[in-house]
A and B are shown apart, each in its own frame.
Chain A
Amino acid sequence: EAGVVQSPRYKIIEKKQPVAFWCNPISGHNTLYWYLQNLGQGPELLIRYENEEAVDDSQLPKDRFSAERLKGVDSTLKIQPAELGDSAVYLCASSFGIEYNEQFFGPGTRLTVL
């Protein structure tokens, strides 16, 4: 069974440029999460989807970040415009429902903003 797929794995951009990350969850997983992991820190939730609905986006900086999961499967996280402080790893995870214990993580996208 394929795991959570993320692309690209690495991205280097200049500040003020837009950037997008893509995530395909494990087949059948209706819950999808985007986490931000700063260097030396644990992941922090940005947004959680139940199917195509964003049910928790309280930590998403909405002035520059946006996300979508149009058909309740794969998802895109966008930053526009990117700032130097956005350099981090962006992790996507999925789970089967909200009661299931385990969240499965993808390998992440490492973003460097110059």
Chain B
Amino acid sequence: AQKITQTQPGMFVQEKEAVTLDCTYDTSDQSYGLFWYKQPSSGEMIFLIYQGSYDEQNATEGRYSLNFQKARKSANLVISASQLGDSAMYFCAMRGKTGANNLFFGTGTRLTVIP
């Protein structure tokens, strides 16, 4: 079974600074995928970034990068140059071979960007 752990219920960051949101995972699958989603107050889950377990390089998408440490089973999200619009809930999720394309989500981290 897959398990995602996000230990930071809330984080604060100054505008224009970088912030790291933590995510650790547990799985017995050899092949899996890790995702980060953003959920603003409007409620919609917005896909940010994906990392495959066999990808050798860390994924990057604009200001988002995923710090993937396979041996530690961690997949931290780094947001550079934070903007006020980044204030939202952030969820780490995993997809494993078990359960096909089903996503297993963590409990989320609420990020607040301070002007």
Binding site for B on A (CB under 8 A): 31, 33, 40-45, 48, 55-56, 89, 91, 93, 95, 98-108, 110
**Are A102's CB and B50's CB within 8 A?**
yes
**Are B45's CB and A48's CB within 8 A?**
no
**Are B102's CB and A45's CB within 8 A?**
yes
- Bound-state CA distance A56–B4 (Å) is 20
B99: CB under 8 A from chain A?
yes
Return B46 CB to nearest CB of chain A, in Å.
8
Known: A42-B91, A89-B43, A107-B42. A98 touches B101 (CB 8 A): yes
Return B71 CB to nearest CB of chain A, in Å.
23
Return A35 CB to nearest CB of chain B, in Å.
8
Q: Which residues of B lie under 8 Å from residue A106 when comparing CB positions?
A: 44
Q: Kindly identify which residue among B4, B43, B101, B108 contacts A103, using a CB–CB cutoff of 8 Å.
A: B101
- Bound-state CA distance A107–B43 (Å) is 5
